[in-house]
Structures are given as structure tokens and as C-alpha cells.
Structure 1
Amino acid sequence: MKKFIDENFLLNNKTAERLYHDFAKEMPIIDYHCHLPPAQIAADLKFANLTQIWLYGDHYKWRAMRTNGVDESYCTGDKPDYEKFAKWAETVPYTLRNPLYQWTHLELQRYFNVSEILNEKSAKRIYEECTAKLQTQEFSVRNLLRKMNVTLVCTTDDPADNLEFHQQLKSDGFEIPVLPAFRPDNAMNVDNHTIFNNYLQRLESAANISIDSFTSYLDALKARHDFFASNGCSVSDHGLEEMYAEEYDDIEIEAIFNTIRSGKELTELEKRKFKSAMLIQFAEWDNEKGWVQQYHLGALRNNNIRKFSELGPDTGWDSIGDFSHGKSLSKFFSTLDSNNHLTKTILYNLNPANNELMATMVGNFNDGSVAGKIQWGSAWWFLDQKDGMVKQINALSNMGLLSRFVGMLTDSRSFLSFPRHEYFRRILCNLFGEEIENGELPDDIEWVGKVIQDICFNNAKNYFNWQQIDKTAKVGEKVF
């Protein structure tokens, strides 16, 4: 029997062990999509205790605690921090076979060198030991990034954001680039005219442009797109239920914009047409600048209306949706491709029923101009666990080129989430190791090791063309 989370965790044969320890383990991390707060990195924040760094904002843990019968006051409420942690510690033993169980103990080991199992009995010891460490400079957020061998962070930012903290980090000379990503969801969400018009006030202020027409609206967004580029941005991101690809013309879109600016609601078709037009416009700008565009598709958000009204978004009331993606994706990409305006693109799906659809869709638009130009991104959100990762890797292997895959990302708000990369790398090495030992792949360790290193780091470095990485760490060399 293996020890729980030992050095060969998730590695089930000698070849997998060699691939991980000799090739994958020391590769640096490029976190090309996350939700880390740049303000906290700029301040080099030290968290006051383990609850604040581990439970604040973590809707994965909140959902588990609620399911275990824990009152909301211990999740998003005002209970003291240790009491919240104690409720999480009571919940952990009941998360067996949920990835939270392995993630929890992996994070305790990798950051705090704590190998004790977290439960009600060990809660106080673990809390006090980890909290004491968090109060030292070694555990400031910048040093946590260094500790995990992170070489670049790409945050998620609204067009109206002023990027002051990204500018501060650059001015400080922080050796790990923290770059913005352009996330214009609010700028195309016309489902509620009041929310949209309020957002346009923010956009006007940020762009210093009065928005009195659809043309000036585009001018303001383009000014922000240019501003982001001047601050090192080369990635856009969209969080959508589905891709929108309705037929429209310019006159229609101007009329739709005027309708919503006048405070009137739109029809469902008008909403879809406006969103379709904006997606094409953003994609055109991304192509002009040579950016990478990302589309996160398929989340059904804010299902619990009562709790959403009480607590707001991103508090754990979202699920997998069952949207239809094929025809709209094909039409959207064909529209851009026919004008040679399709830039590098990464698709992420949340419903595993769409795995093969995504794996084959990206192949339709890989035109040979760039290796892996159109990517199917890593298993996302509810799927970024062992089963979801294995299914994504297998589908991509069967229908595309896994060797050109840009690999894992955190998509996280937590500075303790970087062991997710290790988790992914172990799973990846185990899959290759099993097939080598079964005679399904040749025993060419050097070549397979190179492919694994590419998936872990090199492919992303080359795909995003982030030359800043060269200034932070050599491949396989830690910086902390």
C-alpha cells in the first residue's frame, strides 16, 4: 500500500515516476489565466491567518461545507476566522474522493511542510502552525509565487480597470511579470439595460470619451484595448454561456445600442445579435495586435436566485450548463477565418459531453500557420480534477496533437492553488508511463520527456510569445 501523497503520488509505475521526477517536476509555471488580485501582489500582502488565504472567496470549499450542513455564517458570513477554519476542518474528512481532499493536503504539504491529515482533532495545531508561517516575510504573496517557481502571471481585468497595480509591479521591478488580460464581458452584456448603462459610465470615465453613439462606444473600447496593450496585455478572455454568431448588419447594431441607451429592454434576438457583433469586433482587434483570445464556455451561473440575491456572484451557485456550441462556433470561426482575421485562440468547455466536439472543432481551423494555433484548453472549473483531466487529455490525444497542448492553468483566486500544476503534471506523466509500459508507446524516454516538458511549460511560452519569461528563470531552475 502506498503512503498518502508520497513522492510518487498518482504515479503508478516506474516509467511514470521517471517522467515526472526527471522531466516534469522542476519545470517553471506560466499561469496564463487566473483571477489573482494584482493589488495584493503589488502590496506584497501577508495574510493574517490560514482562513484568510485559504477560505476567503473559495466557493469550492464553501459548496462542500454547505453540503456538509455548515451554516452560511461560516462560509461567507461574519463568524471569526478560526471558527470558519474549524468548520472546514470538520468538513474535510467528508470530502473523501472529492478532489478537495487531495488538493487540501497537497497544499498543506507544498506550502507549509505539513503532512498531518486535516480533521477536527488536528485543526488547531495546523491552523496555528500555518498562521505563524504566514506572518513571516517568507510567506508574503510575492514569495509564495517564487516558492512555486511561477515565472509569469496573467490576471483577468475589465476594460475599465486602470491597471495601476500592474504598473506598480513593473515599476517595482518585480521579476515575475504580472500582466493583464482584457475581459470585456461587462461591455457586451446587454441582458439588463440598467446594469449596462451604469457600466458605460465607468467606461466613459476610464477612456475619457463621451459615449453618445455606437461609434463613440467602440471608440472608448478601442482606446481601452490600446491602453491594455501599452501595459503589456496580449491576451483577451471571455466568459460566456455560449458562443454567439447571429446574422446582423451595422444599422441593426446601431439601433439596438440606441434602444438600450434609451433605457428600454431588448428582445432576446436583439441581445444575441449585439453580443455576436461585439465578439467579432473584439476578435478583430485581437487579431490586429496578434493577441491570444480565450473563450470559457458553458457555465450556468447564479442558479440559486435567493442566494444570489443575498450574496452576489461568485459565491458558489454556478453549475455545468447544457448549451449547444457546435454550429455557432463553426460560424464564428469561419467568419473570422474567411477574412484571415482569426488570431490564436483557446476554447474551454465546462460540459464533458462537449469534449469531442471541442477537440474536433479546433482542428477545423488549424491552418498550419502556427503550431497549435487553435487550442482546446485544459479541463476547466468543475472538470479540473483527475477524471476530468484524463478525459480531456485522452480526447485531445485521440483527435488532435497533445504534444502541442499549452497545458495547465490555475483559473484561481488563491495564492495556494499552484499545486494544481503538479497535480496535472503527475496525471499527464502517469498516462504516458502506463502506455509505455504496456507497449503502446515506444520506450523513448528522452523524446517523451521533451513532449511532457513542452506541455508543462515550453508550448505556453512559445504560444504566448512572452519574452519576459526569459528574464525570470531558466527551464527547470527555481527562483526561490
Structure 2
Amino acid sequence: MKPFLDKNFLLQSKTAERLYHEYAAHLPIIDYHCHLDPAQIANNINFANLTEIWLKGDHYKWRAMRANGINEQYITGDKTDLEKFEKWAETVPYTLRNPLYHWTHLELQRYFDVHDIVSPKTAKAIYEECTAKLQTAEYSVQSIITKMNVEIICTTDDPIDNLEYHPKIKQSDWKVKVYPAFRPDKAMNADDPKSLNEYINKLEAINNSPIDNYNDYLEALKKRHDYFAENGCSVSDHGLEQIYAEDYTNDEIATIFTKIRKGESLQAIESLKFKSAMLYEFAIWDHEKKWVQQYHLGALRNNNARAYTEIGPDTGYDSIGDFTQAQPLSRFLNKLDTTNQLAKTILYNLNPADNELFATMAGNYNDGTVTGKIQFGAAWWFLDQKDGMTKQINTLSSMGLLSKLVGMLTDSRSFLSYPRHEYFRRLLCNLLAEDIENGELPADIEWTGKIVQDICYYNAKNYFTFK
């Protein structure tokens, strides 16, 4: 019987142990997509207690607590932070075989050197020990990130964000580089014309220029795209149900935009055409600047209308959707490729049924100009766990080149999520070692180790254009 979470966790052979410990474990982390708060990084804050850094905003844990019958008062309600942590500790023993069980104990070990198993019996002692450590300089936000050997972070930022904290971070003597990423989804959300109109008004105020027509709107957004570039941005991102690739004319979009500004409701096809036009324009700008564009596709969001009304979005009520992906994705990429304006692109699917679809779609648009130009990205969100990562790795291995994958990312709002990179690296090393042990790959540890290092670090280092 192997001990729980020892140094060889997930490594099932001596070959796996060697690959991980000699080639992967020490490599820096390039976290090219996350949702960390740049203000908290710039101000180098200390969190008040373990609940504040670990439970607030973590909808993975919230979903588990609800499934365990925990009242919402102990999740997003007004109970004390200690009471909320105690309810989480009450839930943890019931998360066996859920990735939360691994992540919880990995994070306690890696950040706090706490090796106790979380339970009601250990809850108070763990809470007090970790909370005390969080008050020290060693556990400020920047120190925590440094402790995890992070080299680069890309936050996720709306076009109307002023990015005031990124220059502050850059001007400090902290060695980790933090860049903004352009996330313009709200700027194209024609499904809610009222909210979109309010967004356009905010954009007007930021640019100090009226937006009376569609051309004005594009010009205003292009200024923000340029502004992001001036502040070090070289990555864009979208979180969409699916790619939008309806045929349209510029006159149609101009008319649709006028309807939006008048507060008129749109027909479904008009909304689709507007989103298609905006998505295309963003992609053209990305190509002009040699950015990397990312598309996270397939989430069905805000399923619980009552919970959305009471506590809002991003609170644990999203799920996997079954949207049509292949045809619109092909139309979109092909339109850009036809005019040689397709930027480096990473595709992420949330529905595991789309693994092979995305892996083969990426292969359609690799053209030999850039190594791994179109990527089938790492397992995302609900797939970001042992089974999901394994399936993504195996699918890419079968239908593309695993050796050119740009590795893992956290996609997290938590400063305690960096062990997910370790989790991915351990699984990767174990899968390659398994093939070596079975005689399916040659026992060339040096070459396989190089591939491991490329996937975990060097491919991303070469793929992105961070400065």
C-alpha cells in the first residue's frame, strides 16, 4: 500500500519517478490564463485567514458543500469565516475520488507544510495554524506566488479595465512578470442589448469620445486593444458557448448596432450576426499584433435562475453544455486562414465528447509556419482533473503532437491553485513512463525527459511573445 500524497504521488513506476523528479518538478510555471486579481498582486496583500484565501470565490468547493447538504449561509452567507471553514472541513471527508480531495491536501502541504487530513477533528487546528502563517510576510500574495516558482502570469481583463495595477507590478522589484489578457466577451454580448448599451456608454466615457455608429464602436474597441498592447498584453481570451460564424454584411451589422443603441430588442439571427462580426474583428486585431488568441468553449452558465438572482454569476451553477462546435469553429478558423490572418490559437473544450473534434480541428490549420500554431489546449474546468487531463493527453497524443503542447494553466481565481501544474506534470510523466514500461516507447529517458520539459515549460516559453 502506497502512502497518501507522498513524494511519488501519482507516479506508478521508477521510470515515472525519474521523469518527474529529474525533469519536471523544478521547472518554473508560466500561467498564461488565470483570473487572479492584479490589484491584490500589486498591493501584495496578506489574506486575513484561511477561509478568505481558500474558500471565498471557489465555486468548486461551494458545489461540493451544497451537495453535502451545507446551508448557503455557510458558503456565501453571513456566517463567520471560521464557521465556514469548519463546514468545509466537514465536507472534505466526503470528497473521496473527487479532485477536490487531492487539491485540498496538496495545497495544504505545498503552501503551509500541513500534512494533516482535513476533517472536523483537525479543522480548528489547521485553520489556526494556516491563518497565523498568512499574517506573515512569507505569506503575502507575492511571496506565495514566488514560493510556487511562478515566472509569468496572465490575468483576465475586460477592455474597459484601466490596467492601473499592471504598471505598478512592472515597476516594482518583484521578479514575476504579470501581463493583462484581453477578454472582450461583454463587448459582443448582443443577447442582452440593455447591458451591452450600458457597456458602450462606459467605453465612451473611457475614450472620451461619442459612439454613435458601428464604426465608432470598432474604433473605440481598437483603441483599447492598442492600449492593452502598450501595457504588455499579447494574449486574448474568450469564454463562449460556441464560436459564432454566421454570414453577415457590414451594412447589416451597422443596422443591428443602431438598434442596440436605440434600446430595441434583436432577433436571434441578428444577435448571432453581431457576435460573429465582433469575434472576427477581434481575431483580425490579434493577428495584426501577433497575439495568441484563446477560445474556451462549451460552458452552459447560470443554470439555476433562483441562485443567479440571489447571489449572482460565477457562484457554482454552471455546467457542461452540448453545443454544436465543429461547423462554426471550422467556418471561423477557415475564414481567417483564407486571408492568412489566423493568429496562434488555443482551443479548449468543456464537453469531453468534443475532445477528438477539437484535436482534429486544430490539425486542420497548422500550416508549418509556427510550431504548434493551433493548439488543442489543456483540460479545462470540469475536465481539469485526473481523468480529464489523462483523456486530453491521450487524445492529443493520438491525433496531434503531444510533444508540442504548451502545457498547463490554472484558470483559477485562487492564489493557492498552483499545485495543479504539479498535478498535470505528475500525470504526464506517469503516462509516458507507462508506455516505456510496456515497451511502447524506447527507454530513452534523456529524450523523453526533454519532451516532458518542453511540454511543462519550454513550449510555452517559445510559443508566447511575452517581453
Instruction: Bin the TM-score by the shorter chain.
Output: over 0.9
Superposition pairs for residues 54-93 of structure 1, below 5 Å? Answer: 54-93=54-93
SS of the equivalent of 2:77 reads coil
Superposition pairs for residues 218-229 of structure 1, below 5 Å? Answer: 218-229=218-229
Measured after TM superposition, the shift of residue 171 of structure 1 is: 1.9
Instruction: Say which is worse superposed, 362-371 or 163-172, in terms of deviation.
Output: 163-172
Q: Quick one: distance in 1 between partners of 2:2 and 2:382?
A: 27
Q: Quick one: distance in 1 between partners of 2:161 and 2:57?
A: 21
Number of the residue aligned with 1:47: 47
Measured after TM superposition, the shift of residue 368 of structure 1 is: 0.2
Is this contact kept in 2: 1:207–1:221, CA < 8 A?
A: no
SS of the equivalent of 2:314 reads coil
Superposition pairs for residues 298-447 of structure 1, below 5 Å? Answer: 298-447=298-447
Measured after TM superposition, the shift of residue 307 of structure 1 is: 0.4
The percent of aligned pairs where both chains have the same amino acid is 68
Q: Quick one: distance in 1 between partners of 2:204 and 2:229?
A: 19
Measured after TM superposition, the shift of residue 173 of structure 1 is: 3.3
Name the TM-score, length of structure 1 as normaliser: 0.97
Instruction: Say which is worse superposed, 84-93 or 203-212, in terms of deviation.
Output: 203-212
The superposition leaves residues 125-159 of structure 1 with CA deviations (integer Å, 9 ceiling, x where unpaired) of 10001011000000000000100000000000000
Q: Quick one: distance in 1 between partners of 2:452 and 2:204?
A: 46
Q: In structure 2, give the amino acid aligned to 1:340.
A: N
SS of the equivalent of 1:36 reads coil
Q: Quick one: distance in 1 between partners of 2:138 and 2:208?
A: 41
Q: Quick one: distance in 2 between partners of 1:21 and 1:177?
A: 26
Number of the residue aligned with 1:478: none
Q: Quick one: distance in 1 between partners of 2:208 and 2:17?
A: 56
Measured after TM superposition, the shift of residue 210 of structure 1 is: 1.1
Q: Quick one: distance in 1 between partners of 2:220 and 2:78?
A: 40
Measured after TM superposition, the shift of residue 206 of structure 1 is: 1.8
Measured after TM superposition, the shift of residue 23 of structure 1 is: 0.2
Q: In structure 1, give the amino acid aligned to 2:452.
A: I
**RMSD value over aligned CA atoms?**
0.6
Q: In structure 1, give the amino acid aligned to 2:24.
A: A
Q: Quick one: distance in 2 between partners of 1:236 and 1:298?
A: 18
Superposition pairs for residues 457-472 of structure 1, below 5 Å? Answer: 457-467=457-467
What is the aligned residue count?
Answer: 467
Q: Quick one: distance in 2 between partners of 1:353 and 1:189?
A: 26
Q: Which runs of 4+ in 1 moved over 2 A?
A: none
Is there any run of 5+ residues in structure 2 with no aligned partner, and where? none
Measured after TM superposition, the shift of residue 305 of structure 1 is: 0.3
Q: Quick one: distance in 2 between partners of 1:352 and 1:78?
A: 37
Measured after TM superposition, the shift of residue 175 of structure 1 is: 1.5
Name the TM-score, length of structure 2 as normaliser: 0.99
Is this contact kept in 2: 1:189–1:196, CA < 8 A?
A: yes
Number of the residue aligned with 1:142: 142
SS of the equivalent of 2:375 reads strand
SS of the equivalent of 2:153 reads strand
SS of the equivalent of 1:178 reads strand
Q: Quick one: distance in 1 between partners of 2:244 and 2:194?
A: 22
Is there any run of 5+ residues in structure 1 with no aligned partner, and where? 468-480
Q: Quick one: distance in 2 between partners of 1:168 and 1:161?
A: 15
Is this contact kept in 1: 2:291–2:465, CA < 8 A?
A: no
Is this contact kept in 2: 1:161–1:206, CA < 8 A?
A: no
Measured after TM superposition, the shift of residue 232 of structure 1 is: 0.1
Instruction: Say which is worse superposed, 132-141 or 168-177, in terms of deviation.
Output: 168-177
Measured after TM superposition, the shift of residue 11 of structure 1 is: 0.2
Number of the residue aligned with 1:287: 287
Measured after TM superposition, the shift of residue 76 of structure 1 is: 0.7
The superposition leaves residues 434-465 of structure 1 with CA deviations (integer Å, 9 ceiling, x where unpaired) of 10010000001010000000000000010002
Instruction: Say which is worse superposed, 167-176 or 58-67, in terms of deviation.
Output: 167-176
Is this contact kept in 2: 1:50–1:130, CA < 8 A?
A: yes
Is this contact kept in 1: 2:33–2:155, CA < 8 A?
A: yes
SS of the equivalent of 2:238 reads strand
Is this contact kept in 1: 2:409–2:421, CA < 8 A?
A: yes
Measured after TM superposition, the shift of residue 433 of structure 1 is: 0.5
Q: Quick one: distance in 2 between partners of 1:63 and 1:18?
A: 37
Measured after TM superposition, the shift of residue 420 of structure 1 is: 0.2
Measured after TM superposition, the shift of residue 202 of structure 1 is: 1.3
